[in-house]
Chain A
Amino acid sequence: MRVVTTRSALSRTGVIAGLAVLALTASACGSSSTTATAPTTSSSSSPAAASAPSVASSSAPSASSAAPSSAASSAAPGSSTAPGSSSASGTPGDSKTATSLADFGGMDKLVAAANKEGALNVIALPPEWSDYKEVIAGFQKKYPGIKLTSQQPDISSAQEIQAADTTKGTDQAPDVFDLGAAVTLANLDHFAPYKVAAWNDIPAANKEATGLWFNDYTGVMTVGYNSDALGKDMTSLEDLKDPALKGAVALDGDPTQANEGLLAVVFASVANGGSLDDISKGVDFFKSLKAAGTLSTAKASLQLVSAGKINAIVGWSFNQLPITAAGTANGFTWKTFTPKGVNLGSFYNQAINKDAPHPAAARLWQEYLYTAEAQNFWIKGGALPILYSSMQKAGTIDTTAAKSLPVIEGEIAQMTSDQTTKANAYIKANWAKAIS
């Protein structure tokens, strides 16, 4: 008798199992809505090769000319500090459409409007990534009335847009984005135009003319490695095939998924006689690492490096710094190596969510990011900020922080969107084959 009952019970488990799979797969996909409009058009506005930003002469953040405007802040009724009153923050329509400080009537008015909103949602800002930890802390210290929520720090650029879509209309939606180039160009319809006070200090090639997006910082591609494990200083990328690094050379994300992984392949290509137009040499290089047995299939992480599983990472200069620091604390030496003349960068972009639940706070965050204080935090984190050269002129660079920057000889090369498209197509067709 009991057997019979369990039998029927188990036949039910079969159904449940099936339903469970259905539910799992469905919920995994159901959360994303269709947004991808493919990186089309706007090749003109693509972040073109930007060497140390020069041009634009106008002086640093001046508290822009009065221009009374429609007095946004005073009109804003939403005043609650607690999150939960999303609809209230939607009302200051003036903040939502403000395209510069002038529209608020000056910095003080902007701060007042942002304080009234009382909250700010940032997304995908890992604390260790170009020292965002201190950037966030700096903002909180300066504007204690605004409750800053750092959502999902470890997600990708594409997921930022998905998150904005799924949370649209709620007070949980991200207010600002920090995005890679490909995702930025594919999602222009998600951004609200805004020009920060330092707008003129950002070279024309590094921003969208109406202020939909603007470059914030870039790293350069480097190889970080544990010199204790390798047993010597690296002098060429060929050293990555050294048997001492067996199974220990990692990328920070698969090139089909992460911008950083993709650029690591481009980097290897340029270093091996390829170019930004021909990344096949890079794929071949990683294929040869695979053959030599040194390529790790695990994704790079500080934990795996600390445990000695990963001893070399091809990635952004600013992501090598935290490892160097951890090495000092845990007794290993983490050095970086960049082949001479291979200066590959890729600016990330700031943009404001056009459906931001806290439009004034979002704009205040942008104003803060383009102050010398925040830019110096990025420098401290090993990233080259877009205002670097104007700050150099103004003498506002924190010289101790600047020691974190990698030595860059010559210009930093950047992929154009056409080159990125081409590289993606090549990766899609060849990467999986090369490393499996």
Chain B
Amino acid sequence: MSATVVAPPAVAPRSGGDGRLRRMKPLLGVAPFLLYTALFLLVPTAIVVIGAFQGDGGSFTLANFSALFGQSVILEALLRSIVLSVVSAVIGAVVGAVVAYFLSTAPPSGLLRKLVTSASSVLAQFSGVMLAFAFIFSFTGRTGLVSRTLNSWFGVPEPDVNYFASLIGLIIVYAYFQIPLMVIIFLPAVDGIRPQWREATESLGGSTWVFWRRVAGPLLTPSFLGALLLLFANAFSAFATAAALVGLGSPLITLQISNALTSETGLGAPNLAKAEALIMVVIVAIVMAGYYWIQKRSSRWLG
């Protein structure tokens, strides 16, 4: 009794005196993050945006954009990048979602689930030069063990070196890291679907179709779309894999940017590269806006 009486005055002044500090505390906690974001996101973005509107001398110009839209090569690269990103994201999302669903039905601490999730976490990061060379060496020519086996067993024609530099080839290569990424990020969502809901649907007379159409589908749609967007952005910004696969020409927008930055033959144009980067940012912004619109709608018929 006496202890409870004594305690409040001891606490009160402390909380009163540190009020401001306490309010500052969360801010202090995120300060490193904010600083980091400012340094590595905001500053570079500002450089890109400003540079995109600058000429070589630093004066304001729209020449970078007229150069960008005046070159069919760049526009084709942009289009090809979008197609590649959309297709590989859709393939990754659909296949990954199916895999994730089957995994969610497996026992949570089972070997299969552990195996697939850990493999997925590794493979989702397995991109870049090593992935490119893994494909070249496994699927083409003298060292192509996989392609040779497929050929002799199933008669699948062996691809030549150039195959993986083509659009279809790139989609196949990209799917290799898109699918595992989808599995990792989508698994928590499908784990959220409780068996009880299914039972409830069935006890109310709903079929499997109704369950997916009316219960699980609407619940998963936002996560699915969010994951799809992530995969799109992942493929859209990917550079090293394609750079290692394609040596001639610059068929993707990221390769065009690299070309404009590094050309040693006198075709270099750093500010054109920034304009191209800005276009990429705009495209992702548009896709994100579309995503929020869909999400808003879906949450409306969810609610």
Which residues of A does B touch, CB under 8 Å? 2-3, 5-7, 9-11, 13-30, 32-39, 155-159, 162, 179-180, 182-183, 186, 246-248, 250-251, 253-259, 261-262, 295-300, 303-304, 307-310, 420-421, 424, 427-428, 431-433, 435-436
Contact = CB atoms under 8 A, between A and B. Distances in A.
A257 B259 contact: yes
Interface string B259-297: 101111111111101100100110011011001100100
B48 A25 contact: yes
Nearest to B239: A28
Listed residue (B225, B251, B280) with the most chain A CB atoms within 10 angstroms of its CB: B280
B63 interface: no
Contact of B188 (A6, A256, A420, A432): A6
Contacts of B236: 21
Listed residue (A159, A247, A420) with the most chain B CB atoms within 10 angstroms of its CB: A247
A129 to B, nearest CB: 14
Given A16-B230, A159-B262, A261-B265, 11 more contacts: A2-B191, A3-B189, A3-B193, A7-B223, A17-B234, A29-B48, A29-B270, A36-B270, A156-B263, A158-B263, A183-B264
B222 interface: yes
Contacts of B263: 156, 158, 256-257
A157 B264 CA distance: 6
Contact of A10 (B58, B227, B287, B288): B227
A343 to B, nearest CB: 20
B266 A308 contact: no
A25 B263 CA distance: 18
Contacts of B90: none
Nearest to A180: B264
Contacts of B31: none
B142 A307 contact: yes
A17 B233 contact: yes
Contacts of B40: 23, 27
Interface stretch (B3-11, B22-30, B205-213, B241-249): B241-249
A16 B226 CA distance: 10
30 contacts: A3-B219, A7-B189, A7-B226, A9-B188, A10-B189, A13-B229, A13-B230, A20-B234, A21-B284, A23-B45, A25-B237, A25-B277, A26-B277, A34-B56, A36-B56, A39-B266, A156-B263, A182-B266, A247-B160, A251-B248, A253-B247, A254-B247, A254-B248, A257-B264, A262-B265, A296-B161, A297-B165, A297-B246, A298-B161, A299-B248
B24 to A, nearest CB: 25
Contacts of B295: 11
B60 to A, nearest CB: 13
Contacts of B268: 36, 158
Nearest to B280: A25
Listed residue (A13, A251, A303, A435) with the most chain B CB atoms within 10 angstroms of its CB: A13
Contacts of A38: 56, 266
Contacts of B161: 247-248, 296-298, 304, 309-310
B162 A298 contact: yes
Given A14-B288, A26-B277, A259-B264, A36 B249 contact: no
B41 A256 contact: no
B121 interface: no
A309 B136 contact: yes
B226 A11 contact: yes
B141 A309 contact: yes
Contact of B261 (A157, A162, A431, A432): A162
Q: Which 9 A-B pairs have the closest CB atoms?
A: A299-B247, A26-B44, A30-B44, A10-B226, A3-B192, A247-B160, A157-B264, A182-B266, A297-B165
Contacts of B227: 10, 13
Nearest to A258: B264
Provide the main secondary structure of the chain B interface.
helix
B117 interface: no
Contacts of B147: none
A259 B265 CA distance: 5
B47 interface: yes
A34 B54 contact: yes
Contacts of A17: 229-230, 232-234, 284, 288
Listed residue (B137, B230, B236, B246) with the most chain A CB atoms within 10 angstroms of its CB: B230
Contacts of A155: 262
Given A29-B274, A254-B250, A297-B249, A11 B222 contact: yes
A433 B77 CA distance: 12
A307 B141 contact: yes
A124 B220 CA distance: 51
A421 B266 contact: yes
Contact of A308 (B143, B220, B222, B264): B143
Contacts of B44: 23, 26-27, 29-30
Nearest to B143: A307
A434 to B, nearest CB: 9
Nearest to B224: A10
Contacts of B257: 25, 28-29
Contact of B51 (A34, A296, A298, A432): A34
A6 B192 contact: yes
B73 interface: yes
B54 A182 contact: no
Given A259-B264, A298-B165, A26 B185 contact: no
Given A3-B193, A17-B234, A182-B265, A10 B248 contact: no
A24 B259 CA distance: 16
B132 to A, nearest CB: 9
B140 interface: yes
Contacts of B79: none
A255 B249 CA distance: 8
Contacts of A13: 185, 226-227, 229-230
B134 interface: no
B248 A18 contact: no
Contacts of A162: 261, 270
B288 A36 contact: no
Nearest to B73: A432
B200 interface: no
A256 to B, nearest CB: 5
Contacts of B160: 246-247
Contacts of A308: 141-143
B247 A26 contact: no
A42 to B, nearest CB: 13
Nearest to A293: B160
A141 B162 CA distance: 44
Given A248-B161, A298-B165, A21 B233 contact: yes
